[in-house]
C-alpha cells in the first residue's frame, strides 16, 4: 500500500497574515517608540508656531497682559513674547520634557494628558487655546504609520 505524506506549505498570504497578527500583538511597542515621538515633535512644532502648524493661530493675548508678560517672563523660554509660554512649565509638560506628561500605551492606543496634580492650572489654558488635540493632517500621519506598521512591518 502506498504511503501518503502530507506536507504543509506556506503561502505568501499566510505569512503576511501571520506577520500582521504578530505585529498586532505588539503594537504598543510601536506606539510607544514611534507614535509617541511623533506626538512630541508635533507638540514642539505647535508651540514654536503658536499653533499654526495645526491650523489656526492661537488667539492673541490681551494687550495689557502681553505688556506685563514681556517684563515678568523675559528670562523664561520665549522671553515673554510667545503665546502660551510664560515660565515654560506647561510647554515642557505637553512636549514630554517633564514628568508632568502622563501617557498610557496599550495595543489598542495611546493616551496622553497633562498631570493636573503637578500643574494645577493645566486644564484652563486649553479651553481658549486647545493644545492637546491635533489637526487632521497630524493625526492622519500618525494613523497611517501605525497602519503601515501593522500591514507591512515598516518602521520596525
Other CB atoms within 10 A of residue 74 CB: 11
- Sorting pLDDT into bands at 50, 70 and 90, what band is 3? confident
Q: Give per-residue pLDDT as tens, 23-43.
A: 666 889 999 999 999 999 999
Cβ 73 vs Cβ 79: under 8 Å: yes
C-alpha cell at 69: 508678560
Give the mean pLDDT of the chain. 89
Q: Which residue, chain included where needed, has cell 493675548?
A: 61
Report the largest interatomic distance among the alpha carbons of the chain, rounded to a whole angstrom: 99
Question: 6-15, 67-76, 80-89: which has the minimum mean pLDDT?
Answer: 6-15
What residue spans define the domains of the chain?
31-151
Amino acid at each position: 500500500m502506498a504511503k501518503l505524506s502530507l506536507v504543509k506549505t506556506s503561502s505568501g498570504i499566510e505569512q503576511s497574515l501571520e506577520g500582521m497578527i504578530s505585529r498586532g500583538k505588539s503594537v504598543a511597542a510601536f506606539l510607544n517608540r514611534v507614535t509617541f515621538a511623533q506626538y512630541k515633535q508635533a507638540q514642539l512644532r505647535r508651540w514654536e508656531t503658536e499653533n499654526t502648524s495645526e491650523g489656526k493661530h492661537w488667539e492673541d493675548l490681551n494687550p495689557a497682559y502681553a505688556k506685563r508678560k514681556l517684563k515678568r517672563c523675559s528670562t523664561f523660554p520665549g522671553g515673554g513674547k510667545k503665546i502660551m509660554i510664560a515660565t515654560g512649565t506647561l510647554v515642557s509638560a505637553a512636549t514630554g520634557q517633564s514628568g508632568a506628561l502622563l501617557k498610557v500605551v496599550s495595543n489598542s492606543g495611546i493616551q496622553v494628558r497633562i498631570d493636573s496634580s503637578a500643574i494645577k492650572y493645566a486644564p484652563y489654558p486649553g479651553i481658549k487655546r486647545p493644545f492637546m488635540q491635533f489637526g487632521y493632517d497630524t493625526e492622519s500621519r500618525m494613523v497611517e504609520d501605525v497602519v503601515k506598521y501593522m500591514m507591512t512591518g515598516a518602521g520596525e
